[in-house]
Structure 1
């Protein structure tokens, strides 16, 4: 079973190289990518079952004894998020193939999209599975390097500036990340997360607090918490729908995962908790208010993405088992729902010819299938029962109430208010763009763009993939009982730290 741990990283990298070789045969290239991602879904499911039943699955690469070698570890948290993430990547890939986002107006498929998509998958997998800070940095860089190509390819004049903003901010945060790794190694002599659990705790309080703040800033930029969110609403809406969907679903959530992992393993005291609760409250409210002010569908969804990152930081800041369980549930829910909303947004723009909410109208009558596909994840994101968003929010609100501190109460009140603001923002879209009388489409996209817009023609793979992610939210709600049990056990492991340390270092070293 240990041999399965590196496969989510190795398989997409090998397939990316092969995808370049067979790039002149588009059908083979597409089939290869679908098969590889499907295989990783199976591997991730097997790792989750094993981790949940028998504890973390660990592989020490090269046979080096920890903490000196490279450690890959799949515990309940990483295996669960890996499984959900790859399922979403597979659905988005099917959407991209149906949209023919890679065609560039010709019969054959461009070779750039598929290899870079697989490299992105490898980076996401490595970030989830690595057991040390340096290879967490490597995972982010692999992921971001592929994202630079995906967000900038086929750029026109309108897309260059937002793409450059994304690249510059990402490089800046990566520089801070590398600096953080260097400081941690200089202070402790190790970058292994399990080994750092004990050594960071022995550092002077000032240095320890500085490292906690530096990590929060690094992962705060990458996860787009307020006030470090400025880059996201300008960057994501300019990319094609599949690229935006996979970025919104995964990139910020990988950063949230890194924040959860480092804060619980290395810090987790009352001071950092209060700081995170304040950031969470600010992120929820600023993001939701920003969404209400938007007249562009993708920008509105991008601000809502920022807002709902605040829910995850809220649960983390409580540093309780129920709070962390709520975070895990919310991340799983949000990966599926946010990806679905951006895919449906792509269908809306394809149909209406514009992302401007002023020029979209009557879609419930002209395209009722797309209207239904939008309504379900919109209600889910707002937390309407009995959908998965409601389940996750109830757990987080219960955690806030049990924490019984003024800041926790304030964050819980902010979470309730944010849910109403989210519902208001999405209701504006529904009333103005779906429920009113149809008007002629007014395309405002670049006429040289080869992606078909302003047409009612929508391919079956696009509808099926968007529908599958919409249905995933309902499945998550239906499986709330078993999923809550897994998230409870994962949250207990995060607070205990013992199972993680023993799995990586061994019982003797972890005990000493």
Structure 2
């Protein structure tokens, strides 16, 4: 039996395995070791399945569509795996597994003080199930269900420990998420009322039957809902205050993955359902504002997690930029940059988690001399930092160069403006991250008063004075972070094959799939699309 024949049967396991693992972990709430084993085995199995699916859909040049419950397409729930969804599930699985190992080390060292494991493991696996379900959803309502699954789990994770700051920021996060979900659900209802379907491919085929103004309203409603989830400016106000207060593993996985689910939804919206409805000029202005405003916020921060949270917002702008160019090369570059950012942003937050344990603070005004005290942490921060800043030859440079090259091929004045904005954003990102490096790692206790005076303007920055207890760093936390740094380097070493896959994704996304093709690709209850 070859992999192509068994691939359709594997697709539902991407969601059912994490849900089953969450149930077992919840039952084993008083047995930490059992929960750890279940979580690690579950995510490892999902990673293996996702890798098989990516190989099958890429080598066979044909997506896999599975109609759950035996209902014929477009009726019922359709799980759809193409190169894009398979690649993102692979990357998400790697990130979730690495962060899980990091959290296991933290839990073993701290007990239940910061991340109560009896709650953490079930919630974490449910979060993974929601992410995977969103990536393979073939209809809008199942995409909505995926969002809600991951959001319910994220509500629990972001408030772990029940400290005042976590509850306060958690409330803001919940309210914003609910507003986004209400908008999304309203848009689904309107689309179903107008077109009689929620299947994405069938929506695309029927969308031309509606008046142009109606199409625009539906288009903008979905974009608005997804832009809140993706933290696109000016709808990103909630993110910098929400993420930094959560436990380090939670912050890392949120920063790496949750906003990318929103970006993924925007990609599907623009390339499947509204390929013929042009809002690219609007997306270009939004992309420019997101890049510039986000990175200016990062420059004004004195706390490492807040710096990274603002750079997270700014780099979402690059993905919207690539999507707005709307050429196969630009879409391919966007996917590559998306993969790069998931991995690098997660790695940086894990490295900052190590800094917090070693120094007792993440304020660059307080932390000093870590180059001598913790040289390994210094390296683990430095490599992804210069990668995110876009220095050659790292993947950050490759992704940005590809985006700029795609924009230059279009050559319009707005493209030139966006390229300049992207270069400025990259330079300011590098400045913010290297300033943090210089102050936290190179600066010594005996440095001159002149150095302190130069950074005094940061004294009023939010959370600049927060200090926590210094804690031992378990080897597994360092190993998990080192593994993620190795993955960031691998994105550069294997940039050629990965970029080829991303280019094939870009070309395929701009070639509309018909309902007939989707039905031909499906074999029923557990058949490939």
Instruction: Spell out, residue by residue over 1:81-125, the C-alpha distance to the aligned partner (whole angstroms, 9 max, x if none).
Output: 11001100000000000011782249x963100000000010000
Cα distance change, pair 462–135 in 1 and its aligned pair in 2 (3 A): same
Give distance in 1, aligned partners of 2:394 and 2:329: 19
Cα distance change, pair 224–5 in 1 and its aligned pair in 2 (3 A): same
Cα distance change, pair 217–423 in 1 and its aligned pair in 2 (3 A): same
Cα distance change, pair 443–287 in 1 and its aligned pair in 2 (3 A): closer
Is structure 2 residue 416 aligned with structure 1 residue 376?
no
Please state whether the residue corresponding to 1:238 is helix, strand or coil: coil
How far is the alpha carbon of 1:210 from its aligned partner? Answer: 1.1
Matches within 5 A, 1:243-322: 243-269=250-276, 271-322=278-329
Give distance in 2, aligned partners of 1:195 and 1:183: 15
Q: 2:49 aligns with which of 43, 51, 71?
A: 43
Cα distance change, pair 502–436 in 1 and its aligned pair in 2 (3 A): farther
Cα distance change, pair 454–344 in 1 and its aligned pair in 2 (3 A): same
Q: 1:401 aligns with which of 402, 408, 413?
A: 408
Structure 1, 263-272 or 208-217: larger mean CA deviation: 263-272
Count of aligned positions: 499
**Alpha-carbon contact 2:85-2:136 (below 8 Å) kept:** yes
Q: 2:498 aligns with which of 483, 502, 507?
A: 483
Give distance in 2, aligned partners of 1:507 and 1:237: 44
How far is the alpha carbon of 1:160 from its aligned partner? Answer: 1.8
Could you tell me which residue of structure 2 aligns to residue 450 of structure 1? none
How far is the alpha carbon of 1:270 from its aligned partner? Answer: 7.0
**Alpha-carbon contact 2:50-2:90 (below 8 Å) kept:** yes
Could you tell me which residue of structure 1 aligns to residue 14 of structure 2? 8
How far is the alpha carbon of 1:202 from its aligned partner? Answer: 2.7
> RMSD between aligned alpha carbons?
1.9
How far is the alpha carbon of 1:504 from its aligned partner? Answer: 2.1
Is structure 2 residue 198 aligned with structure 1 residue 191?
yes
**Alpha-carbon contact 1:194-1:505 (below 8 Å) kept:** no
Structure 2 alignment gaps of length 5 or more = 1-6, 448-462, 523-529
Structure 1, 472-481 or 37-46: larger mean CA deviation: 472-481
Please state whether the residue corresponding to 2:243 is helix, strand or coil: helix
Q: 2:98 aligns with which of 73, 91, 95?
A: 91
Is structure 2 residue 479 aligned with structure 1 residue 464?
yes
How far is the alpha carbon of 1:159 from its aligned partner? Answer: 2.0
**Alpha-carbon contact 1:360-1:439 (below 8 Å) kept:** no
Could you tell me which residue of structure 1 aligns to residue 527 of structure 2? none
**Alpha-carbon contact 1:273-1:318 (below 8 Å) kept:** yes
Please state whether the residue corresponding to 2:253 is helix, strand or coil: helix
Please state whether the residue corresponding to 1:112 is helix, strand or coil: helix
Is structure 2 residue 39 aligned with structure 1 residue 33?
yes
Structure 1 alignment gaps of length 5 or more = 448-452
Instruction: Spell out, residue by residue over 1:384-420, the C-alpha distance to the aligned partner (whole angstroms, 9 max, x if none).
Output: 1111111111110001101112222211111111100
Give distance in 2, aligned partners of 1:214 and 1:505: 29
Instruction: Spell out, residue by residue over 1:431-477, the C-alpha distance to the aligned partner (whole angstroms, 9 max, x if none).
Output: 1111110479x996587xxxxx423x211110011111111111011
Could you tell me which residue of structure 2 aligns to residue 103 of structure 1? 111
**Alpha-carbon contact 1:201-1:266 (below 8 Å) kept:** no
Matches within 5 A, 1:45-124: 45-54=51-60, 55-100=62-107, 103-105=111-113, 110-124=117-131
Q: 2:518 aligns with which of 497, 504, 509?
A: 504
Give distance in 1, aligned partners of 2:475 and 2:464: 23
Please state whether the residue corresponding to 1:100 is helix, strand or coil: helix
Could you tell me which residue of structure 2 aligns to residue 234 of structure 1? 241
Give distance in 2, aligned partners of 1:416 and 1:445: 33
Matches within 5 A, 1:90-169: 90-100=97-107, 103-105=111-113, 110-169=117-176
How far is the alpha carbon of 1:300 from its aligned partner? Answer: 0.7
Cα distance change, pair 420–432 in 1 and its aligned pair in 2 (3 A): same
Give distance in 2, aligned partners of 1:197 and 1:438: 62
Give distance in 2, aligned partners of 1:136 and 1:190: 14
Q: 2:441 aligns with which of 434, 437, 441?
A: 434
Give distance in 2, aligned partners of 1:160 and 1:464: 31
Give distance in 2, aligned partners of 1:484 and 1:104: 42
Please state whether the residue corresponding to 1:58 is helix, strand or coil: strand
Please state whether the residue corresponding to 1:506 is helix, strand or coil: helix
Give distance in 1, aligned partners of 2:78 and 2:355: 44
Could you tell me which residue of structure 2 aligns to residue 336 of structure 1? 343
- TM-score when normalising by structure 1: 0.94
How far is the alpha carbon of 1:501 from its aligned partner? Answer: 4.6
Structure 1, 325-334 or 405-414: larger mean CA deviation: 405-414
Please state whether the residue corresponding to 1:60 is helix, strand or coil: strand
How far is the alpha carbon of 1:271 from its aligned partner? Answer: 3.5
Cα distance change, pair 439–229 in 1 and its aligned pair in 2 (3 A): farther
